[in-house]
């Protein structure tokens, strides 16, 4: 594939229009299809607004802005994908709908067109199974907002051909993205490894150890994370974040490590989704006062340690199960969700024996399988090894 490759994008929502913007900025002709004309009009208007801001900030000039919008064909007809070398699907996150769409898509494209899905939680194997030529199907998972977040997870299914994988990865690399290769398992890398960032923070709150504001203060000020867990959940939306947690929990056959939290469930049930409707863990209405954190350094350090060792345990277990390489696991968390450090490098810094001891203490105290240390950590400590 090269710049002459026409890129198709199905679904003109926030992800689809972001992906279309990236491909067009990289000088591809783009066909952006949505069945809903309003969604298309909205995508075009918002893209023009984004480009106008980039011109204002002198990131691009007027001519480039015009050419980016000019290369995108906004269409409500999937037949317009007929000359595409790749089509990336970014429609609603429902397996039955995606399967129907992939079966149909295959009839609208040429024989060697790659069909990719931007799904964050469905198995690529199940989407690919809807196609006759399932070896052309692959997961290409962008992060929100796609034009700004550098990371893209590349997820070959069991059916995916080696050539599909290589071609897709080379193409996305050429778009100046950081690609990581991951196995087709629930949550891929980022949405799997990041679960304790939310789950353990919620547990710390539920036990009454600290309130939302204090946990967020500890994680940002002491932990170096760009956003605290509760601010981030409010930003993502408690409806969306809770559903991802529940999906990952089910997909892992109810492993207690991934168990969702009643606190978040109740916030979701109350309609307290977060920023988008003015109320989540925090109140975003006008004039609302921000709660003050308890800036007790010792308490803060306890909070950060507990969440970070749980994150490290997930990262180590992902490596143990060959979900991705050491480098890709660390890159995924720094480039996909802006973690201050790669978790495996961080583990080396803290000391693996120290990480293991904290996990074992938690497991003893709670008697829960949730805190079981990854066998890889145990083996590495026994052999006195480090990740790097
Ligand atoms: P969205 O709801 O903003 O947009 C979906 C678009 O797809 C809508 O414009 C809708 O009209 C269109 N659509 C629905 N069914 C269609 C069909 N059969 N044919 C053509 N168009 C159709 O959704 P969003 O947030 O952009 O997500 C899209 C996909 O990307 C989902 O699979 C989601 O899980 C995934 N994703 C979302 C992220 C996020 O943070 N929003 C991050 C990474 C992946």
Domain boundary pick from 181, 210, 229: 181
Set 120, 123, 134, 238: catalytic member:
120
Q: Which two tokens stand for residue 326?
A: 């050491």
Do 212 and 255 reside in the same domain of the chain? yes
Whichever domain contains 162, its CATH number is 3.40.50.720
Give the separation between CA 316 and CA 375, rounded to whole angstroms. Answer: 9
Give the separation between CA 39 and CA 246, rounded to whole angstroms. Answer: 28
Do 164 and 268 reside in the same domain of the chain? no
Q: How far is the CA of 377 from the centre of ligand 1 (A)?
A: 38
Band of the pLDDT at 308, cuts 50, 70, 90? very high
Examine the residue annotation and report whether 141 is marked as an active-site residue of this protein. Answer: yes
Whichever domain contains 298, its CATH number is 1.10.1040.50
Helix (H) or strand (E) holding 247: helix 238-251
Do 66 and 177 reside in the same domain of the chain? yes
**What does residue 58 show for φ and ψ, rounded to 5 degrees?**
60, 30
* 84-94 mean pLDDT: 95
Domain boundary pick from 125, 156, 181: 181
What is the pLDDT at residue 50?
95
Set 89, 153, 200, 314: catalytic member:
153
pLDDT over 70 percentage in the chain:
100
pLDDT at 82 over 90: yes
Residue 14 CB less than 6 A away from ligand 1? yes
Tens digit of each residue's pLDDT (9 = 90 or more) over 320-375: 999 999 999 999 999 999 999 999 999 999 999 999 999 999 999 999 999 999 99
Helix (H) or strand (E) holding 139: strand 137-142
* 106-116 mean pLDDT: 96
pLDDT at 244 over 90: no
Residue 35 CB less than 6 A away from ligand 1? yes
Number of domains the chain contains: 2
Q: Which two tokens stand for residue 123?
A: 């198995």
Q: Which amino acid residue places its CA nearest to atom 15 of ligand 1?
A: 91
Give the separation between CA 195 and CA 64, rounded to whole angstroms. Answer: 40
Residue 114, beta-bridge partner list: 86
Do 284 and 150 reside in the same domain of the chain? no
Do 39 and 155 reside in the same domain of the chain? yes
Q: How far is the CA of 90 from the centre of ligand 1 (A)?
A: 5
Give the separation between CA 330 and CA 317, rounded to whole angstroms. Answer: 13
**Mean pLDDT for all residues in the chain:** 96
Tens digit of each residue's pLDDT (9 = 90 or more) over 359-374: 999 999 999 999 999 9
Do 95 and 242 reside in the same domain of the chain? no
Give the separation between CA 183 and CA 169, rounded to whole angstroms. Answer: 14
What is the pLDDT at residue 315?
98
pLDDT at 206 over 90: yes
Whether residue 1 lies inside any domain: the answer is no
* SS3 state of residue 176: coil
Whether residue 47 lies inside any domain: the answer is yes
Tens digit of each residue's pLDDT (9 = 90 or more) over 22-35: 999 999 999 999 99
Task: Ligand 1, residue 121: give the atom nearest the CA.
Answer: 34
Whether residue 229 lies inside any domain: the answer is yes
What is the pLDDT at residue 213?
98
**Closest by Cα among 199, 157, 154, 148 to 332:** 154
* 265-283 mean pLDDT: 95
Do 232 and 365 reside in the same domain of the chain? yes
What is the pLDDT at residue 2?
87
What is the pLDDT at residue 93?
86
What is the pLDDT at residue 40?
96
Whether residue 157 lies inside any domain: the answer is yes
Do 273 and 144 reside in the same domain of the chain? no
Alpha carbon separation from 279 to 98, 146, 282 (Å, rounded): 32, 25, 6
Do 158 and 14 reside in the same domain of the chain? yes
Do 368 and 225 reside in the same domain of the chain? yes
Sequence-distant (6+) residues with CB within 8 A of 333 are: 189, 190, 193, 194, 311, 315, 339, 342, 343
What is the pLDDT at residue 370?
94
Do 175 and 210 reside in the same domain of the chain? no
Residue 39 CB less than 6 A away from ligand 1? yes
Examine the residue annotation and report whether 120 is marked as an active-site residue of this protein. Answer: yes
pLDDT at 144 over 90: no
pLDDT at 10 over 90: yes
What is the pLDDT at residue 229?
98
Which is more confident, 296 or 277? 296
Task: Ligand 1, residue 43: give the atom nearest the CA.
Answer: 9
The residue range of the domain holding 363 is 192-382
What is the pLDDT at residue 240?
86
pLDDT at 3 over 90: no
Whether residue 387 lies inside any domain: the answer is no
Report the DSSP pairing between strands 151-156 and 137-142.
Answer: antiparallel
Whether residue 72 lies inside any domain: the answer is yes
* 131-135 mean pLDDT: 97
Report whether the peptide linkage leading into residue 347 is cis, meaning its omega lies within 30 degrees of zero: no
Domain boundary pick from 147, 181, 215: 181
pLDDT over 90 percentage in the chain:
94
What is the pLDDT at residue 121?
84
Whether residue 388 lies inside any domain: the answer is no
Residue 336 CB less than 6 A away from ligand 1? no
Whether residue 186 lies inside any domain: the answer is no
């Amino acid at each position: 594939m090269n710049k002459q490759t026409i890129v198709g994008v199905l679904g003109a929502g926030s992800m689809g229009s972001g992906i279309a913007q990236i491909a067009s900025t990289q000088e591809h002709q783009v066909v952006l299809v949505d069945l809903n004309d309003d969604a298309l009009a909205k995508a075009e208007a918002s893209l023009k607004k984004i480009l106008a801001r980039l011109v204002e900030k002198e990131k691009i000039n007027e001519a480039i802005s015009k050419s980016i919008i000019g290369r995108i064909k906004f269409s409500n007809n999937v037949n317009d994908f007929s000359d595409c070398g790749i089509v990336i699907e970014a429609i609603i996150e429902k397996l039955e709908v995606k399967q129907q769409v992939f079966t149909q898509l295959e009839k609208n494209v040429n024989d060697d067109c790659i069909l990719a899905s931007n799904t964050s939680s469905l198995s690529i194997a199940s989407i690919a199974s809807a196609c006759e030529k399932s070896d052309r199907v692959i997961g290409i998972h962008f992060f929100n907002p796609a034009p700004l977040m550098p990371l893209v997870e590349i997820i070959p299914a069991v059916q995916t051909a080696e050539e599909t994988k290589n071609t897709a990865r080379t193409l996305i690399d050429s778009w100046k993205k950081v690609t990581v290769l991951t196995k087709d398992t629930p949550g891929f890398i980022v949405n799997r490894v990041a679960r304790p960032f939310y789950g353990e923070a919620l547990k710390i709150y539920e036990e009454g150890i600290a309130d939302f504001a204090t946990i967020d203060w500890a994680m940002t000020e002491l932990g170096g994370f760009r956003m605290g867990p509760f601010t981030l959940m409010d930003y993502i939306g408690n409806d969306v974040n809770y559903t991802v947690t529940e999906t990952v929990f089910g997909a892992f056959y109810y492993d207690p490590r991934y168990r969702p939290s009643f606190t978040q469930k109740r916030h979701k049930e109350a309609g307290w989704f977060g920023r988008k409707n003015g109320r989540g863990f925090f109140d975003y209405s006008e004039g609302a006062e921000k709660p003050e954190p308890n800036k007790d350094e010792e308490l803060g350090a306890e909070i950060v340690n507990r969440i970070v060792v749980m994150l490290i345990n997930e990262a180590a277990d992902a490596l143990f199960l060959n979900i991705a390489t050491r480098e890709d696991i660390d890159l995924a968390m720094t480039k996909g969700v802006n973690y201050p450090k790669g978790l495996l490098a961080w583990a080396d810094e803290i000391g693996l024996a120290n990480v293991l001891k904290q996990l074992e203490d938690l497991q003893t105290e709670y008697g829960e399988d949730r805190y079981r240390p990854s066998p890889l950590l145990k083996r590495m400590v026994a052999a006195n090894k480090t990740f790097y």
